[in-house]
Amino acid sequence: MQTFRSDALADRRALITGGSRGIGEAIAVLLASMGTTVVLAADDEPGLEKAGATIEGAGGQAELHVVDLLDPTAVADLATAAGDVDILINNAAPGQGRLPFLETPDEAWDLQLGLILRTSVQLIRALGPGMATRGRGSIVNISSSSVVDAAPYVAPYAAAKAGLEVVTRIAALELGPRGVRTNAVRPSFTPTQRVAHLVADPEFLAHQSRKVPLGRLAAVEDIANAVAWLCSDAASFVNGQVITVDGGGSAGTWRPPVQSDSPVGH
């Protein structure tokens, strides 16, 4: 029986896009601590160097690639440089421009669909065949609760993430018979540098926290833990799934209990 141990990902190789900060960095740090050589790709060179230093300072191994992930040629070169990876984490996403649907320009759609969806598809197509030939591999796509909990002003981002979930299921059906598992993790709102403008608003944070039965917002480590489990052999029979990490926020309508001096039932 496979169990989830601290060395569950030893001697594996993982490519993580958007690995310079936030959720991507947390995933990289955790996987490296479990023995994985992590290949980090982003356009943020200072962030990559910081993440790499954190990983190597803890005894892990990291390879850093400063890449424009919107450039198909650069992405193809990245896939070649990454080599025979066992794990692919499609995490990269741009910041969300909050514009009304009818006022959102084509450029905003191109940005979100390009980085979140097209780049992920390109990397799956580039690295999936090698995984299939070797008879093993794990692909994890990072989605968003905005796919099912629609909110105004983020249509391009939410649509791109929804498309990524569809790709997840289809890849699972087609690559599963060849030993490659494809899953997604769907986080709820998670404070990171990418949404610093929202994190700076105490009223917004309090509102988000009130929607979660566990009474707090997600931490990047919560998302990383779910990803690491999906990558491990402990999840060897999990394929084509979207794992929601939201503290129970999507379980149903949740409102904090109303304080009352009256005994229950009276």
Whole-prediction pTM: 0.92
Domains in the chain, CATH or no CATH each: 13-245 (3.40.50.720)
| Tens of pLDDT, residues 137-186 | 999 999 999 999 988 999 999 999 999 999 999 999 999 999 999 999 99
What DSSP line would sit under the chain, residue for residue?
A: -----TTTTTT-EEEEETTTSHHHHHHHHHHHHTT-EEEEEES-HHHHHHHHHHHHHTT-EEEEEE--TT-HHHHHHHHHHH-S-SEEEE---PPPP---GGG--HHHHHHHIIIIIIHHHHHHHHHHHHHHHHT-EEEEEE--GGGTS--TT-HHHHHHHHHHHHHHHHHHHHHGGGTEEEEEEEE-----GGGHHHHT-HHHHHHHHHT-TTSSPPPHHHHHHHHHHHHSGGGTT--S-EEEESTTTTSS---PPPP-SSPTT-
pLDDT at 98: 85
Return the active site residues.
157
| Tens of pLDDT, residues 203-225 | 888 888 888 999 899 999 999 99
Residue 259 has pLDDT above 70, yes or no: no
